[in-house]
Amino acid sequence: MRFLVFVEHHEGKLQKDSLGVLAKAASLGDVEAVVLGQGVQELAADAGRFGAQRVYVMDDVLLDRPLPQPRVDALETLLADNGFDAVLFAATVLSADVAAGLAARLGAGLNYDLTDLVVEGDTLVGKRPALGDSVYVDVGWTSEPRLALIRSGTFEAQETGGSAEVVPFESRFQDFSLAATMVEQAHEESEGPSIEDADVIVAGGRGLGGPEGFQQVEELAKALGGAVAATRAVVDAGWYPYSTQVGQTGKTVAPKLYVAVGISGAIQHKVGMQSSGLIVAINKDPNAPIFEYADFGVVGDLNEIVPKLTELVKARRAA
């Protein structure tokens, strides 16, 4: 089976989730990648280290801004000239727009929020959670190419040490694809790693009592060299930015260590962090649902536990 993976990039780096999808596709069959943008010729070659046998590159000033429709045009051209069985995307805002536009343009089927892919004989089968992640269902396609959006944080980027043939291509842009322009692209100021890239995440919930409670969460995250995350309830209350929200309506993360502070552990939050390597929960309620799936649980007052834990981490690192 022949796969094409849409690889995103940002500030001169290929994105982690895209590389994870690329590595997964490489384990299933022949995989090629496509990189679109301006000044991305050299960057594209890096995809070979993650399993791509060939990388198609379109380098054009009209692809400089992260707008979906010009990318749909480019992919439509590429697919018309190559017989790919499936096109895979990591589920980001841009990729979701591109995948949906491409599906409409080609009249192709698009399965989304997939957490696994398997090849059974000559058939590609997607695995998708349903009913609040309480069950998993098999999904398929009735036409080609098969389009798939993979849930963020699902697959780890794994270097194979290989190299890829870089193949430039060109595409004509539709007039309507150039009708939208990006006036400004804002970047949120932040310190430390993003929650998508962090190996350690300290997340805060309503149990913190208010926005001031996040100070101790931030101090623990800094001591551990990690990032700060929040629950939907916290974000909805305006205590912390939406960009840090983990859960069904936020981001999906898979750090090596996830410390949940004052989080009850509703199913909507579990969806976003259940793939973490080690889950530690701190909550005064011994019956909080999060203890059912945490690896380690601490029952007690977080206002006493978190500062002491921060002091211990700092002392251990200083030793």
Per-residue confidence (pLDDT) for residue 188, from 0 to 100? 59
Q: Given this structure, which CATH class describes domain 200-318? A: alpha beta
Per CATH, 2-178 and 200-318 having the same topology is answered yes
Q: Which CATH superfamily is domain 2-178 in?
A: HUPs (3.40.50.620)
Under-50 pLDDT residues of the chain:
none
Domain boundaries, the chain: 2-178, 200-318
pLDDT tens-digit profile of 34-63? Answer: 999 999 988 888 888 898 999 999 999 999
Per-residue confidence (pLDDT) for residue 267, from 0 to 100? 86
Per-residue confidence (pLDDT) for residue 96, from 0 to 100? 94
Per-residue confidence (pLDDT) for residue 249, from 0 to 100? 78
Distance CA(221)–CA(194), nearest Å, equals 12
